[in-house]
Structure 1
Amino acid sequence: MSLSILDLFKIGVGPSSSHTVGPMVAANRFLDALLQQGQLENTRQIRIELYGSLAMTGAGHATDTAVMLGLMGEKPDQLDPDQAPALINNVRSTGELILAGQYPIPFVEDQHLHFLHGHSLAKHPNGMTLRAFDAAGLELFHDNYYSVGGGFVLNEEETEQTTSATDIQVPFPFNNAQDLLDIGDRTGLSIGEIVLENEQHLGRSDQIQPALLNIWRVMDRCINRGCEQTGVLPGGLNVNRRAHQLHQELLNRPEDQQDHLEVMDWVNLFAIAVNEENAVGGRVVTAPTNGAAGVIPAVLAYYDRFVPGSSEAGIVTFLATAAAIGMLYKKNASISAAEVGCQGEIGVACSMAAGALCAVMGGNNRQIENAAEIGMEHNLGLTCDPIAGLVQVPCIERNTMGAVKAINAARLALKGDGQHRVSLDDVIETMRQTGLDMQDKYKETATGGLAVNVVMC
């Protein structure tokens, strides 16, 4: 498996990795394809067609603005979230989009961007088609793109490939958790060390440890920003931001009112702070998705602030171990709520965080695998039913539950010897099958569950 740790942890913007980051990446790739074909400067019109979940909840997940920003040449990891509204307002007020930051073309949303409700492309629920036309209205190029979760994007040709053309040979290839355990037994390496050894051959970063510490710094800054901000989250649900008040209450709580579970309040705060930032389109780390972006930072902040002996080396081990677990879900099931429900987002993040925390608290490989299994086993069947298609209710609180559950899963695993009846591979396959059985209304379409049973007011 040639996935990089930095594929699982991407720096981007909210509110959704599949609906915001992915479509922006797809638009970037479309520009690249036009440039390679020598057609970019000949393009005079663009048409965007959004299908499936991208159509059903795209407005609430900022898919429309993400595609426009991507067509302007903005990239998720470089975009200034504070500047994005001005860029979009300029398109809407002038009726003009600066394609790739160079070529002005007419652009009116209700003419050039279509939410095709009730229609889906065959390869994945998160499908979109981008088309370019010349001055005479003749189509120059089109391609289908699939946002398959966590900011990963495939075009039509790539969905037909059984193996990746970019697969790179690594010293310790693995396809499942049992492979990781066998490699560990044979070499004496921990799961985190196995992934870090592979990372040296992938070419994503010459200095992977500083890169991972930077990922943590972005996560930590997101927590701090979330604790500083006040106001109402956008979108019409009128959800008040809570992290700032919670933070102040924790800082000012008298010693005689503290209790043994106060650390849980801090973990809840960390997760809420991140996901409130995600909800407003702020800078977050996809971990492994934006909808679940608060789980891993909250558990890592718990390790950093509350676990004796925490260190930068431990942070690197945490992220490397979490990534190894995330790679298994990406390969053998899904990290897309549009495909398998929220078990593929909060459930996967919980599993990743549980195994990672177990690792930095002294767990061996089998205890790590056990912790990751526990984290998912008790998220099986978790649906994705965002009210009004917004990543707010139940998504923000759901991150707190995933984080706390991950900590408990790690502690349970550490109390055992690593022997257990259900393997991580078993639970990943069960999650995949459960996702296939789940009705589409529970897969990020906002047509079932809380999305239809809670009245907006």
Structure 2
Amino acid sequence: MFLSVFDLFKVGIGPSSSHTVGPMIAAGNFLENLDKAGKLPDVSSLQVSLFGSLALTGKGHATDRALLLGLSGYEPATIDPEIIDDCIDAIRRKRELVLLGRKAIAFDESRDVLFEMGKLLPHHSNGMEFTASNAAGELISRQIFYSVGGGFVVSEQELGSNYPAAEQLPVPYPFDNAEELLAICKAHKLRIADLMLANEAALQPKKNIFAGLDHIHKVMEACIDRGCVQTGILPGGLKVERRARKLHEDLQKGMEKQLRDPAIIMDWINLWALAVNEENAAGGRVVTAPTNGAAGILPSVLRYFDRFYNQKGKEGIRTFLLTAAAIGSLYKKNASISGAEVGCQGEVGVACSMAAGGLAAALGGTNEQVENAAEIGMEHNLGLTCDPVGGLVQVPCIERNAMGAIKAVDAARLALRGDGRHMVSLDKVIETMRQTGRDMQEKYKETSKGGLAVNMVEC
């Protein structure tokens, strides 16, 4: 199965790709299915039940708000974050939803959005059940969706064993693992980015691909810039104060001093990562890369490359993004990018691996060095838990992105100092990550039932 660069990088809103973007998409899909079947005009009442991690940490991840927006017809990629609060306030005040912006129904959140604590649906921790009934109370439709990480949403039918396999997209260089990817590149004398571009070009014109990549980069840059000037307390009750603006001001003031500090670049990388994830925590516009919880790693490493090394302009940036997407697709296919499924190694760990590989490629590394960089990026994130305090994507998530970005740069530099030969292959580390996630206790997988989430007060 070919995963496009635009599957891995999506423009959306914070704070979570699995708990905010996914449910918003699922709500829209449910109503679109009703609309296509001609049943939307018959809907008189609607109820949503949340299960697993969506129930346990949904409030902190704004899942309830995302559902209201999705049912109202808004989409993560296009909604203006500035209108969200007013939209939610109006729905709650009037106790009314206008489904897809067309069909008004009475809607009481306390009755119609149910957090089924301690209950799981069979296929994934992030499960949602939507039911719609007519004026007589008769069931019109019932559908179950799963938000499986990175904004990807699948229906229960699609996950069922009898559901037809997804149609393979007709790309010239399909690959399912890193070994195949390297072998195909070697046989056809291609860089990983060239292979990805050729596959993308089989699906749409190159001008559209380049425009899409440039748009992703533009949104990443805008997110960093906005995060560097915002102040205040992040929402949610933890009273976490934004730090990026002060750090940015301090760095701008101390330019002469920075010339004497060889490690100062780390402060800039930290700044850019913090800026993005503070924006994410505030519900701002970010690029899911490959998740929102890890959205700061790729933009900060990409800006590091662009500011200090890039001599090829847009070509260098596109090489970075295409290569990173190829690596991300390997994790999506063979393991997971869901914190609720494998812990934060599936989010920050994968983003670190993607950024390391993308940076190595953009700096002129061989395919083997790129694979080595990506492997190093994950190898030293294995076992990373997902234990958000208060169910909010703030502590330890914001700082964790800064640490992941620094690790990614170091992984790329280590790989570029070698010749691509190494002990552990990327495929082996991906499989190890999958096994580690399977063995990890549920309380360490985005449930806020273990780790820092329960020990912070005692520390």
**Where does residue 359 of structure 2 map in the other structure?**
357
Cα 1:244–1:359 change in 2 (3 A) is same
**Where does residue 109 of structure 2 map in the other structure?**
109
Is 1:307 the counterpart of 2:309? The answer is: yes
Deviation by residue 1:253-307 (Cα, 9 ceiling, x = unmatched): 1513540111110000000000000001000000000000000000001001112
Is 1:202 the counterpart of 2:200? The answer is: no
3-state DSSP class of the match of 2:421?
A: coil
CA distance in 1, matches of 2:112, 2:420: 55
Q: Is the 8 A contact 1:200 1:206 kept in 2?
A: no
Is 1:243 the counterpart of 2:244? The answer is: yes
> Which AA in structure 1 matches 2:417?
K
**Where does residue 279 of structure 1 map in the other structure?**
281
3-state DSSP class of the match of 1:207?
A: helix
CA distance in 2, matches of 1:125, 1:217: 33
**Where does residue 435 of structure 1 map in the other structure?**
437
Cα 1:182–1:398 change in 2 (3 A) is same
What's the offset of the Cα at 1:201? 1.9
The TM-score, its normalising length taken from structure 1, stands at: 0.98
CA distance in 2, matches of 1:440, 1:456: 21
3-state DSSP class of the match of 2:130?
A: strand
3-state DSSP class of the match of 1:145?
A: strand
What's the offset of the Cα at 1:436? 0.1
Alignment of 1:92-103 (within 5 A): 92-103=92-103
What's the offset of the Cα at 1:207? 1.5
CA distance in 2, matches of 1:424, 1:277: 32
Is 1:9 the counterpart of 2:43? The answer is: no
What's the offset of the Cα at 1:184? 1.0
Q: Is the 8 A contact 1:340 1:438 kept in 2?
A: yes
Is 1:216 the counterpart of 2:227? The answer is: no
Alignment of 1:26-425 (within 5 A): 26-160=26-160, 164-203=165-204, 207-256=208-257, 258=259, 259-425=261-427
Deviation by residue 1:44-78 (Cα, 9 ceiling, x = unmatched): 11100000000000000000010110000000001
CA distance in 2, matches of 1:434, 1:82: 40
What's the offset of the Cα at 1:310? 5.0
> Which AA in structure 2 matches 1:252?
K
3-state DSSP class of the match of 1:130?
A: strand
**Where does residue 451 of structure 1 map in the other structure?**
453
Q: Is the 8 A contact 1:278 1:290 kept in 2?
A: yes
What's the offset of the Cα at 1:308? 5.0
Range that drifts further, 166-175 or 301-310: 301-310
Deviation by residue 1:339-374 (Cα, 9 ceiling, x = unmatched): 000000000000000000000111000000000000
CA distance in 2, matches of 1:242, 1:58: 25
CA distance in 2, matches of 1:416, 1:279: 38
3-state DSSP class of the match of 1:83?
A: helix
Q: Is the 8 A contact 1:303 1:310 kept in 2?
A: no
Cα 1:229–1:83 change in 2 (3 A) is same
What's the offset of the Cα at 1:109? 0.6
CA distance in 2, matches of 1:203, 1:309: 27
What's the offset of the Cα at 1:168? 1.0
Gaps of 5+ in 2: none
What's the offset of the Cα at 1:377? 0.2
The TM-score, its normalising length taken from structure 2, stands at: 0.98
CA distance in 1, matches of 2:394, 2:205: 33
Cα 1:290–1:202 change in 2 (3 A) is same
CA distance in 2, matches of 1:194, 1:38: 43
CA distance in 1, matches of 2:250, 2:454: 34
What's the offset of the Cα at 1:165? 2.8
3-state DSSP class of the match of 1:301?
A: helix
Count the aligned residue pairs.
457
Q: Is the 8 A contact 2:273 2:405 kept in 1?
A: yes
Cα 1:437–1:349 change in 2 (3 A) is same
What's the offset of the Cα at 1:164? 4.0
3-state DSSP class of the match of 1:166?
A: coil
Deviation by residue 1:308-358 (Cα, 9 ceiling, x = unmatched): 525210000000000000000000000000000000000000000000000
What's the offset of the Cα at 1:36? 1.4
What's the offset of the Cα at 1:427? 0.1
What's the offset of the Cα at 1:434? 0.1
Cα 1:310–1:298 change in 2 (3 A) is farther
What's the offset of the Cα at 1:166? 3.5
> Which AA in structure 1 matches 2:47?
R
**Where does residue 19 of structure 1 map in the other structure?**
19
Q: Is the 8 A contact 1:50 1:129 kept in 2?
A: yes
Cα 1:393–1:166 change in 2 (3 A) is same
Gaps of 5+ in 1: none
CA distance in 1, matches of 2:432, 2:81: 38
3-state DSSP class of the match of 1:51?
A: strand
Q: CA RMSD in A?
A: 1.4
Identical aligned residues as a percent: 59
> Which AA in structure 2 matches 1:186?
A
CA distance in 1, matches of 2:167, 2:32: 18
3-state DSSP class of the match of 1:128?
A: strand
Q: Is the 8 A contact 2:2 2:175 kept in 1?
A: no
